């Protein structure tokens, strides 16, 4: 915690983070980002805007090339702290199958804690608790390959949670699973945030999901183009269009109703960003 205080008590503090995969091209062009502990930040941006590159820097899967980056109070450029960092900042990626280290669910989820030094009993207890948190209590003996994509993503999330992370990064974790799987994963994230108060960085193309975040960060061409409350960022269609994105359905519907004269043009901040918000605005 002492180090966390040195980093201003922030879960993530990025300053001028740059990355080039090939000489002469900048894929991250100086990212500044602060994330408070317990915050749920949605990161949106078109393909190639640098979201995954930023995510990979958060737990030092990529070596820092320029700038400074502190995650859970740990300097990502410090090679001596890489293991601590990987425990403190867990990732769930797009493809559920690629993330399994064991086909037995309980083994897969206990792998992390064991790897980070827990004894057998602690690792099993951590796995049991994490599986319960993602709605998969009693799945320890199941073959992961027989589960749905959504269940596999929750196993991947449980494997992260079993390591008691401070920060959880989901990189397009719902893009390969069906709507039911997406809803189940979303509920699991809500549940563990309540339970553990962990910070969540959710990279997504799902605007409904982004609309429910505490904050939305828009990435464009390797930079943070905007950061703010969903109600401010997701109604800015000019900004979203520049970033290659489309506003949430509720925003587009509301604008069309304004244009058709069905509703009065809304004051700034009055445009709904979620489906429920749209229903409230129309019926209230």
Ligand X SMILES: Nc1ncnc2c1ncn2[C@@H]1O[C@H](COP(=O)(O)OP(=O)(O)O)[C@@H](O)[C@H]1O
SS3 259: helix
Q: Which is nearer to Mg ion, 7 or 44 (CB)?
A: 44
Binding mask 191-210 for ligand X (x = CB under 6 A): --------------------
Residue 90, Cβ neighbours under 10 Å: how many? 24
Q: Which residues pair with 170 in a beta bridge?
A: 92, 202
d(CA 284, CA 275): 14
Binding mask 44-73 for ligand X (x = CB under 6 A): -x-xxxxxxx--------------------
d(CA 219, CA 27): 11
Q: Which of 93, 58, 71, 61 is nearest to 170 (CA)?
A: 93
59 forms part of the interface with Mg ion (CB under 5 A): no
174 forms part of the interface with ligand X (CB under 6 A): no
**Site size for ligand X (CB under 6 A):** 10
d(CA 167, CA 155): 17
Q: Which is nearer to ligand X, 44 or 158 (CB)?
A: 44
27 forms part of the interface with ligand X (CB under 6 A): yes
Using the contact rule CB under 5 A, the part of the chain among 3-11, 25-33, 52-60, 238-246 near Mg ion is: 52-60
Closest residue by beta carbon to Mg ion: 52
Q: Which is nearer to Mg ion, 156 or 231 (CB)?
A: 156
Q: Which of 49, 52, 199, 204 binds Mg ion (CB under 5 A)?
A: 52
d(CA 169, CA 11): 12
Q: Which is nearer to ligand X, 21 or 83 (CB)?
A: 21
d(CA 237, CA 251): 9
Q: Which of ligand X, Mg ion, none does 90 bind, CB closer than 5 to 8 A by kind?
A: none
d(CA 89, CA 86): 5
Note the residues at the interface with Mg ion (CB under 5 A): 51-52
């Amino acid at each position: 915690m002492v180090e966390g205080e040195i980093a201003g008590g922030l879960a993530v503090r990025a300053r001028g983070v740059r990355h080039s995969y090939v000489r002469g091209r900048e894929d991250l062009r100086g990212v500044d980002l602060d994330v408070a502990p317990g915050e749920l930040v949605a990161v949106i941006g078109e393909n190639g805007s640098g979201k995954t590159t930023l995510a990979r820097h958060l737990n030092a899967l990529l070596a820092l090339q320029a700038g400074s980056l502190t995650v859970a109070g740990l300097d990502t450029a410090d090679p001596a702290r890489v293991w601590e960092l990987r425990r403190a900042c867990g990732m769930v990626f797009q493809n559920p199958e690629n993330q399994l280290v064991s086909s037995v669910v309980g083994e897969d989820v206990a792998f992390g804690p064991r790897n980070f030094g827990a004894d057998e009993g602690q690792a099993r207890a951590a796995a049991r608790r994490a599986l319960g948190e993602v709605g998969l209590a009693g799945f320890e003996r199941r073959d992961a390959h027989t589960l749905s994509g959504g269940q596999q993503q929750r196993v991947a999330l449980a494997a992260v949670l079993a390591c008691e992370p401070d920060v959880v990064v989901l990189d397009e974790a719902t893009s390969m699973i069906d709507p039911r799987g997406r809803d189940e994963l979303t509920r699991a994230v809500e549940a563990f945030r309540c339970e553990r108060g962990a910070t969540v960085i959710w990279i997504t193309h799902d605007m409904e999901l982004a609309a429910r975040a505490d904050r939305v960060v828009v990435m464009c061409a390797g930079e943070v183009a905007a950061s703010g409350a969903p109600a401010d960022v997701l109604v800015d269609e000019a900004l979203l269009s520049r970033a290659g994105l489309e506003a949430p359905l509720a925003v587009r519907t509301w604008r069309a109703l304004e244009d058709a004269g069905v509703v009065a043009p809304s004051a700034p901040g009055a445009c709904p960003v979620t489906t429920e918000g749209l229903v409230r605005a129309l019926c209230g």
